Chain A
Amino acid sequence: MLKIKNLMAIGLAAVLSMSTGQALAQKTYNVASLGDYSGPFASIYPPVEDARRAVIEWWNKEVGAKSQVTLKMKTYDTRYDVAQTASLWPGIKSELQPIAILGLGGSDFAALQTRLPDDKIPLTAANGAYGFAWKADPWAFLSRPTYAHETGAFVNWMSERLNRPVKFVTVSSEASAGFADMAKGIQTYARENPTKAQLIETVFTDLQPSDLTLQMRRVTAANPDVIVVLGTMGQVIATKRALQTLGKKIPVLVSSHNGLATLGPVLGGMAAVEGDYEAHATALATAEASDAHAFYEMLQKNYGLKAAWNGFTIMGLAQTVYTVRAIERAQQKAGNAAITGADVRAALLAGPFRSSDLFGLAPDLEFTSQAPFPTTSAKVNIGTVKDGKFVSVAQGVPVPTVSKW
């Protein structure tokens, strides 16, 4: 009898220990990181990669460890090329079986957007959104609205300060689908907001223009309040040099991928970008104290983050933080069960992700099934260079409503 009791006790203990062991079972999920080491954005990718790695390591140690979850990231060089991404993806999927993809921008969307619903794996990015990616029931997500929304937020803000419509010029390129799309979106915004914005002209040029003096001479004759250059750094610099040649002092608006903190040193110092603006829906790379900067410094100190504090690094941080937060929530909801890409997508759509959860790297994020980017919660931060220092001038500026183009 005692033997039977002992056996039962041993059996119960074994069952309990097995179930406890199961609760603490280590789970490892893969995350695919799409990068560009040799294509058009090779110049900006290394800090993005470094930021992604540091966030994953931080999450594994400080969040994942508590629930026995480890994320493994593997990077693939897509050369920011649609065809290359499309051809690499089946191999990535079968080799890695990722639960999320960290994308770099428009080329990843163009290559994967239509097949991800079948693959059931969400893609996330932190660049401005594109009109061609603006589709319902998304599997590819962007933490920022379109460049047209961001530009619109800035122009609206400037219009309120000037108390009249803002006269502006955009510089773009037809050499890239993304840049051409930006121009179309901005034209749509201006058409729908005549009391706020007056678009003088869209100047189309090369990705690395030889000279823009001729074009700037023409458009500055209409006395624009600002020149919006959301394309390449080469386009911004050619614009600045042309204005210098013509002796014109007109502020230039840039985005995060050609931001002022990076642009200044390339032009020989921050004095060269005095009075210029930067506007987008991620944290600004200012030296001012902020949650985002504190998080960056913590990653530098504890997780070997080497990338400089600039727009590219912030994009990498923001993208990875909201992705790991979604994974975190998906795992919480699944409890002990393993999660899939579909669970991560559901967590993204369930939201909201408060800015505080994202260390202020992005505003509150609320994804809906209507668009791949936040349509209601998007807010823009505006910075400028004053006395040689990059400073914030407006935080949380609401974006306008812009129709699909």
Chain B
Amino acid sequence: MIDFLNYAVLGILTGQLYAIVAMGFVVIYRASRVFNFAQGELIVLGGFIVWTFVMVFKLHPVIGALLSILAGALVGILIERLFFRRLVGRSVFAMVMVTIGMIILLRGVMLILWGAHERQFPAIFPLEPVIIGEIFIPSPLLASGFLSVVAALALHHFFNRSRAGLALSAVSEDHEVAQSMGISVRKSMALAWALGVSLSIVGAMTYLSGKTLTYNAAEIGFAALPIALLAGLESIRGLLLGGAIIGLIQGLTSAYIDPIFGGQASAIVPYLFMLGVLLIRPTGMFGWKIIERV
């Protein structure tokens, strides 16, 4: 029973780590209908920014982390300014293609700026685990659980209760209509990208804390994909439940199925579950249902 509890808790918390990464997808999608394929590279970029502040500039991890989040926001604004500003009013497909191009561009820029060698990522969170009874929880995972809840609640409030957040929702509906209503599409998209990249920084910190920074970290972008699609690409709070479900399924599969199967069934199960849900609910568990009058 205690083993089961450990597996369940660790699975759910790992799911929350993926949920933070998935928030980057959702925030950008909610504001522009653009599915950002470069999310994984943004996690790597976030990792390098944190590493630079903490390991190169020798800042305290907390100060380094806060400055990194700010730097992430600036990078997001820069991305919007360079790549997406000219695409306002263009097809979503064109924007999505730009995000695919960004994967290659960001990788190239990072290789030039930081090189390719493996490096120690600072321990933003303590290396010692949190022990509750007989449950051992790695600190970065516990932090990811806490941060995902805080971020989800804050973003939910922002999107549903603040003027700027509601403007983002309007922009995602239709650029031209939003502009005709006096909403600055450019500012809204810049804000969305700033939020998205800042979340990537948070994701990178919880994912890489105390580990190693390599370009393989980009993989987590696609690992978070089932959570984003399961929750529905517009739902922030849904990510918490989606993350918990996927994490729990993955954790228990890893614990009980993988040893029997002799392979990594736990890597496939989240996608199977996601496909099953999408067959029944194409918009995900909490995605928007579009009602059109004809």
A237/B211 in contact, CB under 8 A: yes
- A61: Cβ under 8 A from any B Cβ: no
Selected contact of A204 from candidates B141, B255, B263, CB within 8 Å? B263
Smallest Cβ-Cβ distance to B138: which chain A residue: A245
Smallest Cβ-Cβ distance to A258: which chain B residue: B118
B210/A46 in contact, CB under 8 A: no
List B contacts of A211 (CB < 8 A).
10, 14, 17, 138, 140-141
- A337: Cβ under 8 A from any B Cβ: no
Most buried by B among A37, A40, A42, A174: A42
Chain A, residues 25-39, CB within 8 Å of chain B (1/0): the string is: 000000000000110
Q: Which of A126-134, A213-221, A325-333, A381-389 touches B?
A: A213-221
List A contacts of B119 (CB < 8 A).
266
Chain A, residues 240-265, CB within 8 Å of chain B (1/0): the string is: 01101111000000000000001001
Tell me the minimal C-beta distance from B74 to chain A in angstroms: 26
Smallest Cβ-Cβ distance to A204: which chain B residue: B264
B118/A266 in contact, CB under 8 A: yes
Segment 29-76 of A: residues with Cβ below 8 Å from B: 37-38, 40, 42-46
- A201: Cβ under 8 A from any B Cβ: yes
A214/B255 in contact, CB under 8 A: yes
Smallest Cβ-Cβ distance to A262: which chain B residue: B118
- B108: Cβ under 8 A from any A Cβ: yes
B267/A234 in contact, CB under 8 A: no
List A contacts of B259 (CB < 8 A).
201, 218
- B292: Cβ under 8 A from any A Cβ: no
Inter-chain CA distance A211–B142, complex, in Å, is 12
Selected contact of B220 from candidates A208, A218, A242, CB within 8 Å? A208
- A21: Cβ under 8 A from any B Cβ: no
- A366: Cβ under 8 A from any B Cβ: no
B10/A232 in contact, CB under 8 A: no
- A268: Cβ under 8 A from any B Cβ: yes
Smallest Cβ-Cβ distance to A242: which chain B residue: B138
Chain B, residues 243-266, CB within 8 Å of chain A (1/0): the string is: 000000001001100110011100
Inter-chain CA distance A214–B252, complex, in Å, is 9
- Contacts A214-B10, A233-B212, A241-B138: A208 and B217 contacting too (C-beta < 8 A)? yes
B264/A38 in contact, CB under 8 A: no
Range of interface residues on A (Cβ < 8 Å): 35 or more
Inter-chain CA distance A175–B214, complex, in Å, is 16
- Contacts A237-B212, A238-B211: A43 and B118 contacting too (C-beta < 8 A)? yes
- A267: Cβ under 8 A from any B Cβ: yes
Inter-chain CA distance A217–B107, complex, in Å, is 35
Chain B, residues 201-224, CB within 8 Å of chain A (1/0): the string is: 000000100111011110110010
Tell me the minimal C-beta distance from A223 to chain B in angstroms: 15
A207/B216 in contact, CB under 8 A: yes
B116/A38 in contact, CB under 8 A: yes
Inter-chain CA distance A175–B218, complex, in Å, is 14
B255/A208 in contact, CB under 8 A: no
Inter-chain CA distance A265–B118, complex, in Å, is 10
- A81: Cβ under 8 A from any B Cβ: no
A267/B219 in contact, CB under 8 A: no
B216/A40 in contact, CB under 8 A: yes
A241/B211 in contact, CB under 8 A: yes
Tell me the minimal C-beta distance from A172 to chain B in angstroms: 9
- A274: Cβ under 8 A from any B Cβ: no
A218/B108 in contact, CB under 8 A: no
- A291: Cβ under 8 A from any B Cβ: no
- A403: Cβ under 8 A from any B Cβ: no
List B contacts of A262 (CB < 8 A).
118
- B283: Cβ under 8 A from any A Cβ: no
Inter-chain CA distance A207–B214, complex, in Å, is 10
B254/A214 in contact, CB under 8 A: yes
Inter-chain CA distance A37–B262, complex, in Å, is 34
Selected contact of B214 from candidates A204, A221, A233, CB within 8 Å? A233
Tell me the minimal C-beta distance from A309 to chain B in angstroms: 15
A217/B223 in contact, CB under 8 A: no
A215/B254 in contact, CB under 8 A: yes
Inter-chain CA distance A211–B251, complex, in Å, is 11
- B129: Cβ under 8 A from any A Cβ: yes
A218/B255 in contact, CB under 8 A: yes
A37/B116 in contact, CB under 8 A: yes
Tell me the minimal C-beta distance from B136 to chain A in angstroms: 6
Chain B, residues 135-155, CB within 8 Å of chain A (1/0): the string is: 011101100000000000000
Question: Taking beta carbons and an 8 Å cutoff, which residues of B are in contact with A?
Answer: 3, 6-7, 10-11, 14, 17-18, 107-108, 111, 115-120, 127, 129, 136-138, 140-141, 207, 210-212, 214-217, 219-220, 223, 251, 254-255, 258-259, 262-264, 267
| Extra pairs beyond A207-B216, A241-B211, A245-B137 (6, CB < 8 Å) | A37-B111, A210-B18, A211-B141, A232-B216, A245-B129, A246-B129
The 10 closest A-B pairs by CB, nearest first: A42-B116, A204-B264, A208-B216, A245-B129, A214-B10, A43-B118, A207-B216, A266-B120, A43-B116, A43-B117
- Contacts A/B (CB < 8 Å), 20 sampled: A37-B111, A43-B116, A43-B214, A175-B219, A204-B258, A208-B214, A208-B216, A211-B140, A213-B129, A214-B14, A215-B254, A215-B255, A218-B3, A218-B7, A218-B259, A233-B214, A237-B211, A241-B138, A241-B210, A266-B118
